Copies of this chain bind each other. A is one copy, B any other.
Amino acid sequence: MGGADRAGSADRADLPEAGLTVPELQRRLAEFAAVRHWQQFHTPKNLASALTVEAGELLEVFQWLTPEQAADVMSDADSAHRVRDEVADVLAYLLQLCTVLEVDPLRALAEKIERNESRFPAP
């Protein structure tokens, strides 16, 4: 799960496509909101509410499905679109909340994984 070689970089297989990194998406979201004068609404409390609302909308896709039906949800084009759309909404509000609070979401997750590795030792 390397780390040494971030470098120049034929060897970074998953080097992200331009435009598709978390900081770039955060910048686009901030610009999108600024141009529309929506920043006034993007308080931490409102964004945390919106995040929860969108997580609920994502859960709604699955709420009446059996485990088997839920596992197959992407094979239906409409459901697949809805899932991607709600994933995007959840991520959008999470990233905007992180921007406003100056939290680095990827670093927060990496640190949490490390804490969990101590907390739940591998068998």
**CB within 8 Å of B: which residues of A?**
1-9, 12, 14-25, 27-29, 31-32, 35-37, 41, 43-46, 48-53, 55-67, 70-71, 73-74, 83-85, 87-92, 94-95, 97-98, 101-103, 105-113, 116-117, 120, 122-123
Contacts and interface: CB of A to CB of B under 8 A. Distances in A.
Nearest to A89: B112
Contact of A48 (B1, B36, B58): B58
Contacts of A91: 94, 105-106, 108-109
B2 A107 contact: no
Given A48-B59, A52-B58, A92-B109, 17 more contacts: A1-B19, A3-B17, A5-B7, A14-B21, A14-B24, A28-B113, A44-B62, A45-B62, A46-B63, A50-B64, A51-B59, A53-B59, A84-B103, A84-B108, A88-B108, A88-B113, A92-B113
A49 B8 CA distance: 40
A25 B24 CA distance: 18
Most B C-beta atoms less than 10 A away, residue of A22, A35, A67, A74 = A22
